[in-house]
Chains A and B, each alone.
Chain A
Amino acid sequence: MTEEETLNAVCEAVTDALGLDEDEVTPQSTITGELGAESIDLLDILFRIERLTGTRVQAGDLANYIQGGMTDEEFGTENDMVSAVGLAHLKTVMPQLDIDALVDSLPAEEVISHLTVANLATIVTRYAAVPAG
């Protein structure tokens, strides 16, 4: 499956799971932010993606992608803001973010709300490339 096909599948999954019109979902749409998806919606989206692409992505995989394997203590500061090293990682995995504007001002628990449809497609592509088992 090409990256474009994967992106189309993710868009379809998000659209169907949230009951939205096609034009309401773009690659730049933030899934839990603008589109308002809740945890059960996210589960639905991931299962639909698996049916469409054959690639299994679990909810925990999204957190791993966002934090890059860092512990919560490494990723966040004492004030629960994303740390400098955390922001440096986000710059690579969520390139749509204006990292310079978020220094000491992005709560770690809110990072997921910035996850876009395109970010999710990237995650699916990454996991599709990993051999099963």
Chain B
Amino acid sequence: MAAPGSTANPASTIHGGPTVSSLPGGNAYQHGPCLNGKSALVTGASRGLGRAIALCLAASGASVAVNYNRSPGEADAVVELIEAGGGKAVALAGDVADPADCDRLVADTIARLGGLDILVNNAGITKDALIFQMEPNDWLDVMRVNLGGVINCTRAAMRHFMLQRSGAVVNMSSVMGLRGWTGEAPYAASKGAINSFTQCSAVELARFGVRVNAVLPGFAQTDLVAGLTAKGGGKGILRQIPARAFARPDDIARVVAFLASDSAAYMTGSLVTVDGGASTVLGVGAPL
């Protein structure tokens, strides 16, 4: 279900420009970062932000391994879309919570795409609940996928990156990792941990020519936040976003592509919010 304001939001001036899906051949990023000759692995790329990221990287010139866990049909659809646009892609199954799966994902990406230059750790889940009402293992389940996936895939790829003395890792975090929000504790804790891991891995890997950055999306139009944005037409949340609009997945994907590219050659350890100002605002409404 599309989030309110997804197709017509006269009050919003933050959106503009074409999306990959709106142009023939998906060449919306002609003037964006160049990823020609690069190979990328995107986890959780069968839908939502991962799908948008995979399409964006491909439109920017990268060959893309589209990882999925439970949606082979959707992953294949992403591959077909990329190939229809003249790009190269493969669908690779794997559970990022399993270190052995991550080792295999990286090895298969290198074998089938001829290398690995970009790792986008996007796969994630949420189990929203008040802390008082959480199941005992809810937080662990979320951590195992969200943080575990980032750590497992980074460790799987890092030897290859360190040996070739180049690589770009982009971790998909969230503004939820910066501030508190009712009912989001397990998810928020996992994203805060991703922020810290991003910074530590950036410090350790910088000397090897490997950059590690994180993108912290606000509210984007994906299944993950559909429950939040559908309540009351999403107006309660929209009111708290200075841009008065939810992000399109492409808004997030373009920042990921930038961080993955040589245009961000001197950026590492950065936590980049893409949230329409949501994490910046101190309060809603005029103070006077």
Contact = CB atoms under 8 A, between A and B. Distances in A.
Nearest to B203: A40
Interface in A92-127: none
A47 interface: yes
Interface residues of A, number: 6
A47 B204 contact: no
Interface residues of B, number: 6
Interface of A is mostly: helix
B204 A40 contact: yes
5 tightest A-B contacts by CB?
A: A47-B162, A44-B207, A47-B163, A40-B204, A50-B163
Nearest to B204: A40
A51 interface: yes
B15 interface: no
Contacts of A47: 162-163, 165, 208
Contacts of A50: 163
B150 to A, nearest CB: 20
Interface of A: 40, 43-44, 47, 50-51
B187 to A, nearest CB: 32
Contacts of B207: 40, 44
Contacts of B204: 40
B208 A44 contact: yes
A35 to B, nearest CB: 16
Interface string B166-209: 00000000000000000000000000000000000000100110
Nearest to A40: B204
12 contacts: A40-B204, A40-B207, A43-B162, A44-B207, A44-B208, A47-B162, A47-B163, A47-B165, A47-B208, A50-B163, A51-B163, A51-B165
